[in-house]
Structure 1
Amino acid sequence: MSDPDKSHSGLSSGPGEWLPIQLAPDDCDLELGQPHKTGILPLSFPCRRRAGVWFNVWADEAVLISPSHWRIWRREPSRTNTHI
């Protein structure tokens, strides 16, 4: 019996699951990762690919690495106080 939470394309992977960089979409915030002896080492900032070049979304600077994996960037909850 197949797992209903996984699609055949691999694009409906569970939260936090790394996908091959070849499947990375353009023009959306992604978390990139590189192989490390302990597993996949994530970058600490969101990235986007534009014209084949990866950019740090926060600094709008090119990222000079060759990532091997990606997953959707998950924003941390806001730590600012909200006034009611």
Structure 2
Amino acid sequence: MQFISTEWQSTSTAPSDGDLEICALDFDGIVHSLPFPCHKDGSNWVDGSGKAHAGIQPTQWRKWTSAG
């Protein structure tokens, strides 16, 4: 069984095979996570449905959980 950390990870290590919670820093340095799952599609980030680009350049990711 593979252990998946609930800690934030660098986007450079993000897998492209599942739903992820992503976050980005705002101009004040505060971390904000998106309220919906996303996944990596090449170098792009798209929402969980795969229909729309997330519209941000995230700084970190972690495995998506229903609790968010």
Give me the TM-score of the superposition, normalised by structure 2. 0.76
The residue that corresponds to 1:28 in the other structure is 18
User: Please, which of 36, 42, 57 is the counterpart of residue 45 of structure 1?
Assistant: 36
> What is the aligned-residue identity percentage?
30
Tell me the matched-pair count.
64
- What SS is found at the alignment partner of 1:54? strand
Unaligned runs of 5+ in 1: 1-10, 77-84
Larger radius of gyration: 1
Matched, 1:67 2:49: no
Unaligned runs of 5+ in 2: none
Counterpart Cα distance in 2 of 1:32 and 1:71: 7
Instruction: Report the AA paired with residue 66 of structure 1.
Output: Q
Indicate the RMSD between aligned Cα atoms, in angstroms: 2.1
Give me the TM-score of the superposition, normalised by structure 1. 0.63
